[in-house]
Amino acid sequence: MTDFFKGIPQIKYEGPQTENDFAFRHYDAEEVVMGKKMKDHLRFAAAYWHSFAWSGGDPFGGQTFERPWFGDTMEAAKLKADAAFEMFQILDVPYYCFHDADVRPEGADFAENTRNLEEIVDYFAEKQAATGVKLLWGTANLFSHRRFMSGAATNPDPEVFAFSAATIKTCIDATMKLGGENYVLWGGREGYETLLNTDLGRERKQAGRMLQMVVDYKHKMGFKGAILIEPKPQEPMKHQYDYDVATVYGFLKEFGLEGEVQMNIEQGHAILAGHSFEHELAMARELGIFGSIDMNRNDYQSGWDTDQFPNNVPEMALAYYEVLRAGGFITGGTNFDAKLRRQSLDAEDLILAHVGGMDACAAGLKAAAAMLEDGKLEAARDDRYAGWETAEGKGLMASDLDEIASKVLNNNINPAPRSGRQERLENLVNRYL
Ligand code: XLS
Ligand code: NI
Ligand code: NI
């Protein structure tokens, strides 16, 4: 036991009336919503990097957080793991996620990185067995070290491609050893700063080949989890290749990887791409590539990835509505890829940020389930498209332009516009919140 969270109680569900800050108001893990326990709908995960590895820096200043585990030794890495698993238990989150670089000290070379990772993976395995906490996904950090400054798979230097491929292999091995349910690839620095020095065509091919190798390795090793790509339009690079869900879908098609890779969709990245979160979720669902979510919001004024804990229930409701319409999570879950504000120094800030985020998600999920069960929204949508269910509507899809032109002429088809009823539907949604 560390004493980092000393004095902070186990967080329990006390209901909306409680005055206790250290309690859930909406998240009752065992409560059944649409035939499933809330914990099985939401499948919460805490992110190691923001909560335990980030030191509070911004472009104008360095570290603000003081944590006893900051340091580049294996001993520090184990102390960090002790504190992390204590937090997972205080919150009773069933899952966590990590990058290799979050959990092990940086070595002098690939061999030392791998040894360090393997040692900490053994330590995690013991902790998972002792606590019952599971790994939602593992991933490789191929963007922080200076060797990755011009990309990983898309680097102009083939040695960086090789180093990246080898590192991904070790991270898939680590994920498998820990029983991880998914493996994530976020583009990191796979993109460019200026076309003046960039061979865009070559870089995209390199990224496609790397992804094929990842999928091949998954099959070779018998990994049962999902391979997930996390789209993001920019930051850190000015332009990122995995721009959004639709762009990644085209990329998967091009490299013959459809059916092999799903999406990990982050709320803040959707906003950066000029979409709503629910747009990206619905797009992934319709393309058959919905996998998992990173549930952290951006500040709408600042135009970068501020990675804040979610606190807006109406937004959560619309997001989980799309998740439920996709059939919910299978291997995926709700990962808080969210960090504290840099003035939130205390251990209790870290706990309360997660408590609020979990509660906002739970309230959103309940509202979404009510909307779906009530069926009014779906009925209104069905009504709007009802014409397509008639024999004439269906026939149109099987016709050609000539046939349709004669039909319009002969039957004097003269469509009358109908209201989209947006405000009425918005009013309806507000009734569930
Ligand atoms: C960064 C990404 C990153 C991924 C994991 O913007 O969200 O944190 O989730 O590499
Ligand atoms: Ni993310
Ligand atoms: Ni992000």
In a domain, 167, yes or no: yes
pLDDT digits (tens, 9 = 90+) for 109-149: 999 999 999 999 999 999 999 999 999 999 999 999 999 99
Domain, as residue range, for 398: 379-430
287 and 214 part of one domain: yes
Q: Please tell me if the CB atom of residue 102 comes closer than 6 angstroms to any atom of ligand 1.
A: no
| Mean predicted confidence (pLDDT) in 70-98 | 98
pLDDT score recorded for residue 103: 98
Rounded mean pLDDT, 53-79: 97
Ligand 1 centroid – CA 85 distance (Å):
21
**Considering 26, 41, 50, 99, which one is annotated as catalytic?**
99
Q: Are residues 408 and 341 in the same domain?
A: no
Q: Once rounded to an integer, what is the mean pLDDT over residues 254-275?
A: 97
Is it the case that residue 385 has pLDDT exceeding 90? yes
Please list, in sequence order, all residues whose beta carbon lies within 8 angstroms of the beta carbon of residue 198, skipping any fewer than 6 positions away: 192
Of 329, 358, 374, which closes a domain?
374
Give the pLDDT of residue 304.
Answer: 86
- Do residues 256 and 278 share a domain? yes
Instruction: Say whether both 237 and 386 belong to one domain.
Output: no
pLDDT of residue 33: 98
Model confidence at 169: pLDDT above 90: yes
- Among the listed residues 28, 92, 100, 102, the single catalytic one is 102
One-character DSSP codes across 264-326: EEEHHHHHHTTS-HHHHHHHHHHHT-EEEEE--B--TTT-S---BPP--HHHHHHHHHHHHHT
Residue 45 inside a domain? The answer is yes
**172-200 tens-digit pLDDT:** 999 999 999 999 999 999 999 999 999 99
Q: Nearest bound ligand to CA 189?
A: 1
pLDDT digits (tens, 9 = 90+) for 89-104: 999 999 999 999 999 9
Q: Relative to the CA of 305, which ligand 1 atom is closest?
A: 6
**Ligand 1 centroid distance, CA of 62 (Å):** 20
Model confidence, pTM: 0.97
CA of 135 to the centre of ligand 2 (A): 15
Q: What is the mean pLDDT of residues 329-345?
A: 98
Note the pLDDT of residue 74. 98
Structure tokens belonging to residue 138 = 């593992």
pLDDT tens for residues 416-426?
999 999 999 99
Our answer on whether the CB atom of 139 is closer than 6 Å to any ligand 1 atom is yes
Long-range contacts from 4-9, C-beta under 8 angstroms, 24+ separation: 4/67, 4/68, 4/83, 4/86, 4/347, 5/83, 5/86, 5/87, 5/90, 5/347, 5/351, 6/347, 8/90, 8/347, 8/348, 8/351, 9/90
Q: What local confidence, expressed as pLDDT, does residue 59 receive?
A: 93
Query: 369 and 388, same structural domain?
Result: no
- For the cut 90, the answer to whether the pLDDT of residue 271 exceeds it is yes
Residue closest via CA to ligand 1's atom 4 equals: 186
Residue 337 beta carbon below 6 angstroms from any ligand 1 atom: yes
Q: What is the CATH number of the domain that holds 196?
A: 3.20.20.150
111 and 201 assigned to the same domain: yes
Give the pLDDT score at 301: 86
400 C-alpha to ligand 1 centroid (Å): 46
Residues 196 and 304 in one domain: yes
pLDDT given for residue 302 in this prediction: 83
Whether ligand 1 lies within 6 angstroms of the CB of 305 is answered as: yes
Q: Which protein residues have a CB closer than 5 Å to ligand 2 (ion)? A: 266, 294, 337
- 99 has catalytic annotation: yes
Say if CB 136 and CB 97 are below 8 A apart.
yes
Please indicate, yes or no, if residue 2 is contained in any of the structural domains.
Answer: no
Tens digits of residue pLDDT in 401-411: 999 999 999 99
What percentage of residues in the chain have a pLDDT greater than 70?
A: 100
In angstroms, what CA-CA distances link 416 with 408, 413, 419, 420, 423?
14, 10, 10, 13, 20
As for how many domains the chain has, the answer is: 2
Shared domain check, 350 and 250: yes
Q: Ligand 1 test: best mutation among 232, 294, 334, 335, most atoms within 8 Å of CB?
A: 294
* C-beta of 190 in contact with ligand 1 (< 6 A): no
Distance CA 13, CA 253 (A): 45
Closest residue by Cα to atom 8, ligand 1, is 337
* Phi, psi for 66 (deg, rounded to 5): -115, 120
pLDDT digits (tens, 9 = 90+) for 148-158: 999 999 999 99
- Mean pLDDT score of the chain: 97
Instruction: Specify whether the CB–CB gap between 268 and 231 falls below 8 A.
Output: no
Q: Are residues 69 and 141 in the same domain?
A: yes
45 and 168 in a single domain? The answer is yes
Q: Quick check: 1 pLDDT over 90?
A: no
Q: What is the pLDDT of residue 229?
A: 98
Q: Is residue 220 classed exposed, middle or buried when 0-12, 13-18 and 19+ CB atoms within 10 A define those classes?
A: exposed
Per-residue pLDDT reduced to its tens digit, 227-238: 999 999 999 999
Structure confidence at residue 344 as a pLDDT band (50, 70, 90): very high
Q: Are residues 393 and 297 in the same domain?
A: no
Residue 97: the pLDDT is 99
- Which atom number of ligand 1 is nearest to the Cα of residue 139? 10
pLDDT of residue 300: 85
Same domain, 368 and 392: no
* Strand, helix or coil for residue 364: helix
